Amino acid sequence: MPPTIDPTILTNPWFQAIALNTVLGLIALVLPRLVLTTAGIIHAWGLGIFIWGCLGSQGYTLIVAYLVLGSGVTRLGKDIKTALGIAENRDGARGPENLWGSASTAAICALGYALSPAPYWWLGYTASLSTKLADTTASEVGKAYGQRTFLITTLQPVPAGTEGAVSLEGTLAGVGGALAIALLGYGLGIISATGVAICLVAAQGATTCESILGATLQQRYAWLTNEVVNGINTALGAALALGLATLLSPG
């Protein structure tokens, strides 16, 4: 008799993760590299399996939404940023270093939930992605459409694209980016309405700290690459969210 397949395997989240991400990865490999480089696709395949396996479809949906929105925002004002020489490398396609710089904190929260399921892991996960999309949106909108750009530490006017520079347009766009991810997290049922507000506050606090870091230390130390700073930023966003949740919790 031919071997039979245990039907319960089809409901196993790790089997679902491997099947889904393999199909999506193969499709991505034959399409133009608009979102991820070839190496980025391979790493995203592994990250996607890990996130689905740990958090299921809800966590997976949130991180895919971040990737799609972040890539779309990077292309805003592309001609303007290219003319100024401040456009993202590789036409905005993310490589492994960008992927893990943005998602390492989210992956740690996913692992934490898998090992010890608790709501605070979901909050940290959502806050880290809200923080990163806030940062990306603020930076890309500010570079393309910021009318006046200031160094956050001195408030002196600086050219768009300067590390640590902020603008009103970019800051408002960053709030919108954070809100988009937080509201999706609420819609998916992984954070509460209070969690949405917490993610917004945490994202703005973390991105402000990142701008200060960019204006002060990033240019002094070679190891403080954009990817390292992104990792610090998302970790701070998650930590601030958890700290706020602790302060607001009864008792």
- pLDDT, tens digit, 9 for 90 and up, residues 129-175: 999 999 999 999 988 888 899 999 998 999 888 888 899 999 999 99
**33 contacts 97 by C-beta, under 8 angstroms:** no
Residue 119 counted as domain residue: yes
The pLDDT of residue 13 is: 84
pLDDT at 5 > cutoff 70: no
CA distance 110 to 64: 14
Is residue 141 within 8 A of residue 73, CB to CB? The reply is: yes
129 burial (CB, 10 Å; 0-12 / 13-18 / 19+) is buried
Mean pLDDT confidence for 214-220: 87
User: What is the per-residue pLDDT for 178?
Assistant: 97
Query: What integer pLDDT is reported at residue 93 of this predicted model?
Result: 75
Q: Which residue has the higher pLDDT, 107 or 161?
A: 107
Q: What percent of the chain has pLDDT over 70?
A: 91
pLDDT computed for residue 79 by the predictor: 75
- The residue count for the chain: 251
For the chain, the C-alpha Rg in angstroms (whole number) is 19
**Residue 218 near residue 92, CB atoms below 8 Å:** no
- Please indicate, yes or no, if residue 216 is contained in any of the structural domains: yes
pLDDT value of position 89: 65
Identify the domain containing residue 227 by its residue range.
Answer: 10-248
The backbone torsions φ and ψ at residue 94, rounded to the nearest 5 degrees and listed phi first, read: -85, 135
Any domain includes 1:
no
What pLDDT is stored for residue 8 in this prediction?
66
Query: 3 in a domain, yes or no?
Result: no
Residue 42 included in any domain:
yes
Does the residue 182 lie in any domain?
Answer: yes
Range with the lowest mean pLDDT among 1-15, 121-135, 181-195?
Answer: 1-15
pLDDT at 33 over 80: no
pTM given for the model:
0.91
CA 110 to chain centre: 14
- 8-26 pLDDT, tens digit each: 666 788 888 999 999 999 9
Residue appearing with tokens 């309405």 = 193
pLDDT of residue 251: 57
Highest mean pLDDT among 77-81, 141-145, 208-212, 223-227: 208-212
Q: Give the pLDDT score at 222.
A: 86
User: Is 141 a member of any domain?
Assistant: yes
Tokens of 175: 């709030």
pLDDT band at 212 (very low <50, low <70, confident <90, very high): very high
Q: Is residue 4 part of a domain?
A: no
pLDDT at 194 over 80: yes
Check: CB of residue 144 under 8 Å from CB of residue 77: yes
Domain count, the chain: 1
| 239 closest CA partner among 131, 137, 166, 119 | 131
Most confident of 13-17, 48-52, 86-90, 152-156: 48-52
pLDDT of residue 169: 92
What local confidence, expressed as pLDDT, does residue 75 receive? 82
Q: How confident is the model at residue 219, as a pLDDT?
A: 83
Mean pLDDT for 74-84 is 76
Which of 233, 249, 2 minimizes the C-alpha distance to 119?
249
